Structures are given as structure tokens and as C-alpha cells.
Chains A and B, each alone.
Chain A
């Protein structure tokens, strides 16, 4: 073998090796560039932080439309907004039926359906009581007990009548009032997802406070991962992750809005039957279903009802749930795919 031939062969091998390395590098860079991080947008609406991540065409424009849809919904269903549908309905209580936007009708009828199915554990007519507690403001307060019991007389979903054909609703007596606070964030997710559906985006996730709407499949086809907040941690601590293909997720937790008077802590999840924060052994309920408004109202209802009484309700609405109790026990009702990532909790399953 001549020296030249051997040298040539050697350089051929080196060149081939480098070429292969180059191919590997190019392919991996290609893969990295291909990983779609999505377009992120944030806003404040519904008294919450609104976060969106969108994948695909026109993401920026669509996210802006979705944020707009959420704000529009707030202008319709917030009882605090002068001239909103719900403000008008409350104003006309005991007098006349009020014409409502189709979006308001949709949210209100879902609210009513959950109220009926839960015997008022969730009740949209809770305003006379909720307005005394003021949990949706910066300054919640402990109401006077006599005032509270008086106001409780005016709470009851039976006072609310809806006429789907005429697209109207009415409240029976002066003093009745609707507060859609317990359903608004979930309904806002519905509004955003409706915008995604009508657009060219491939996939998107919207979070309005603790409610989440999922649309489409992520670019890599993997499940959406929704972290469940650790009730004993801060805003950034999660105890585990739900893997979901689509749908809506809402959580009601007693840690969300609280205040303390004379050593007693009061949380914002009011039991419409007592007028006081629900006395439940739960600290949080996460509900997954096919509609955002329903998931939100059901999460509130299930918190008030407790685990046992929630099961028939979940079945009726084809929903699944994750309950966390004060003993750090997690109970998953249904087939939800959940990965526990905290050693402080235990998980068990409950058939639905």
C-alpha cells in the first residue's frame, strides 16, 4: 500500500466523519427551530390575569380578538358594569323581564342548570349575600349576621326566570340579584375558544384566572399539560399535572381569596344556603368538562357539596374532577390522567 493511497483514505474517512457530524448538527438545529414555542399574549379582564398561548397562523391577531371577546363578555355579564345585561336584569328585579344578549343568555342558562342540578350549592342569584362579603373587591368584610340572614331571603335560583324564545330573563322580587362571578372566568374561556375555532390557528390555550380553555392539538401532537396548583404553596407551586386532549378546566380553592377577623379565616366560596363560606373538608376542587362556564360553576358547586354529593352531579354533566381535602388527600373522580409531583399528597380514584 502506497503512502499516498493510505493518506488519501485517511482523509476520506475524516471528511466522511465531519460530513456526518455536519448532517447531525443541521438536523438537530432544524428540529430546534421547528419546535414551535407559540405566541404568548397577556391581559387583565374579568378581574383576572388572562394568558394565551397560540400556535399557527395569525396568532397575534387571533389572540387580540380573543382578548377582545373576553372583555366584551365582561361588559355583558358583570353586575358591577353600569349598563351591562346583568346590571339591567338586577335593576329591573321585581318589575319586568329584560332583553339579553345571546351570550348572556348562554351563560345564565348554564348557571341556572348547575343551580338546579345542585339544589343551589352553586346559585347565580347569590348577589344579595355576595355583595355583603365583597370578595370580588380589594376590601372584603365580615357582614353583620342580621343583614346576612335578611339578605339570604332574597337568594334562590327559583327567583330567576328565563324565556329562551323571547331571549329575556327576569327576577321575581326587588332585592333579588344575579352575580355571575362563580362562572365568569370559565365563560370567558368559552368566549376565547370560540374565537380560536373561527380562526386559522391550529391550537391554543387560554387561562383566565384559574380557568383554562384548550383548543386543538399542540404542534408536536402531545397532550396539553395543565398543572394543578398546590393549595399549600404560592401562585407558582403545583402538586401535579393533568394531561388533557381538549376541553375546559376550572378550580375552586378556599386559598384563593381570604381574610381573617378575630383569628377566624373566611374564604370566598360562599354556600348560598347559609350565606357563609362553605364548611367543607375540601381545600380545592378542579373540574374538567366540555364547557368552560360549566366547569367553573361545577367547581364551585362541588366545593360546597363535598366529594360524596358531587359525584352524581359530575355524572349528570359528563364531567370529571380532582378533589383535594384538608388531609392532603387527592381523589380523582373519573378517568383523568394525573401525574402527582409532590410527596406531600396521596392519590386515590373514585369511579364515576
Chain B
């Protein structure tokens, strides 16, 4: 002890750091995580299933019967249309969806699979 009392001691700094980290942790909890990947499956414009792809541990399929039968495959962090009886196979060729805003649509089956959130390109919509 030199008789002076520093504004902060190491111990105080530690307290401050812990408080800061706690606050930061709370802060991050509030920010919607970029990893939240909610896959939405629609048939005839109605939502038939919602799946949090982050919680998928085992591959899981969903078969949608109709005039055109479509199979949707949910995997950890991704979703795809793996099978469709449609002639054009546009939906299957779209491949695996991994980011928010992506979608695979089978028009003949009137089935759409999309990942919720803003478009992957940061756009409001897509033309073409």
C-alpha cells in the first residue's frame, strides 16, 4: 500500500468484466439468432408443417399425397424436396435449402418449402 487508492483495482476490474459479460450474454439472447432456420412446408397455400432445422438430429421425411406426390427431406440445418411425381422436376433440381429466404416450389403439386426470414440475397423479392 502506498497510501493512494487507485480508482480501480484488479479485483474491481474483474467484477466489471463479469458484469459486462453477463450483460453481453443477455444482449445476444435478445438478438434473433442468425442460425434460426424454420422450414415451412405448404400445400395449396396452407402450412402443413413447420420444422426448426437446428433441432433436427436425424434425417426425417414428409410425404405429401395428392394428384402429385411430393417427398420432403429434413436434415440437420437443411431441407430439400427429394422426390416429386411432377414431370418438370424443377423442385427437385432446386436442391438443398440451407439459408433463410430460400424456397423450393413444386407448382404441379402446389407444394412449397421455404425457410422463413428475409431473402438469402437480402432482397425483398425475386423476379425471374
Contact of B128 among A10, A205, A253 (CB under 8 A): A253
Contact of A49 among B86, B112, B121, B127 (CB under 8 A): B112
Contact of B112 among A42, A207, A224 (CB under 8 A): A42
Q: Is B62 positioned at the interface, with any CB of A under 8 Å from its CB? A: no
Contact of A236 among B12, B32, B97, B118 (CB under 8 A): B97
What 0/1 pattern do residues 19 to 36 of B give for CB contact below 8 A with A? 110010011001110000
Measured between C-beta atoms, what is the minimum distance from A18 to chain B in Å? 6
Chain B, interface size: which category? 35 or more
Contact present for B125 and A224 (CB under 8 Å): yes
Contact present for B86 and A227 (CB under 8 Å): no
Measured between C-beta atoms, what is the minimum distance from A19 to chain B in Å? 11
Contact present for A25 and B123 (CB under 8 Å): no
Residues of chain B within 8 A of A236, CB atoms compared: 94, 97, 102-104, 120
Contact present for B23 and A17 (CB under 8 Å): no
Contact of A18 among B19, B27, B103 (CB under 8 A): B19
Contact present for A226 and B125 (CB under 8 Å): yes
Contact present for A32 and B87 (CB under 8 Å): no
Residues of chain B within 8 A of A28, CB atoms compared: 27
Contact of B88 among A207, A234, A257 (CB under 8 A): A257
Selected interface stretch from A1-9, A74-82, A274-282, A312-320: A1-9
Measured between C-beta atoms, what is the minimum distance from B79 to chain A in Å? 12
Residues of chain B within 8 A of A347, CB atoms compared: none
A-B residue pair count with CB separations less than 8 angstroms: 126
Contact present for B93 and A226 (CB under 8 Å): no
**Complex alpha-carbon distance, A102 and B120, angstroms:** 39
Measured between C-beta atoms, what is the minimum distance from B91 to chain A in Å? 8
Contact of A226 among B12, B27, B118, B127 (CB under 8 A): B127
Residue of B nearest to A51 (CB): B125
B1-33 at interface with A (beta carbon < 8 Å)? 5, 7-8, 12, 15-16, 19-20, 23, 26-27, 30-32
Q: Is B65 positioned at the interface, with any CB of A under 8 Å from its CB? A: no
Residue of B nearest to A341 (CB): B121
Measured between C-beta atoms, what is the minimum distance from A256 to chain B in Å? 8
Contact present for B20 and A49 (CB under 8 Å): no
Residue of B nearest to A244 (CB): B124
What 0/1 pattern do residues 28 to 51 of A give for CB contact below 8 A with B? 110010000100101110011111
Contact present for A205 and B30 (CB under 8 Å): no
Contact present for B26 and A227 (CB under 8 Å): no
**Complex alpha-carbon distance, A268 and B23, angstroms:** 58
Q: Is B56 positioned at the interface, with any CB of A under 8 Å from its CB? A: no
**Complex alpha-carbon distance, A238 and B110, angstroms:** 23
Contact present for B45 and A211 (CB under 8 Å): no
Contact present for B7 and A226 (CB under 8 Å): no
Residues of chain B within 8 A of A242, CB atoms compared: 127
Contact present for B126 and A49 (CB under 8 Å): no
Residues of chain B within 8 A of A234, CB atoms compared: 93-95
Measured between C-beta atoms, what is the minimum distance from B89 to chain A in Å? 11
**Complex alpha-carbon distance, A226 and B128, angstroms:** 10
**Complex alpha-carbon distance, A9 and B103, angstroms:** 58
**Complex alpha-carbon distance, A229 and B127, angstroms:** 6
Contact present for B16 and A3 (CB under 8 Å): no
Residues of chain A within 8 A of B124, CB atoms compared: 53, 205, 218, 224-226
Q: A18-B19, A236-B103, A286-B128 are in contact. Are A226 and B123 (CB under 8 A)?
A: yes
Q: Is B59 positioned at the interface, with any CB of A under 8 Å from its CB? A: no
Chain A residues close to B by CB (< 8 Å): 1, 3, 6-7, 9-10, 13-14, 17-18, 21-22, 25, 28-29, 32, 37, 40, 42-44, 47-51, 53, 67, 138-139, 205, 207, 210-212, 218, 224-229, 231, 234-236, 238, 241-242, 249-251, 253, 257, 284, 286, 341
Chain B residues close to A by CB (< 8 Å): 5, 7-8, 12, 15-16, 19-20, 23, 26-27, 30-32, 42, 44-45, 68, 86-88, 90, 93-95, 97, 102-105, 107-108, 110, 112, 114, 116, 118-128
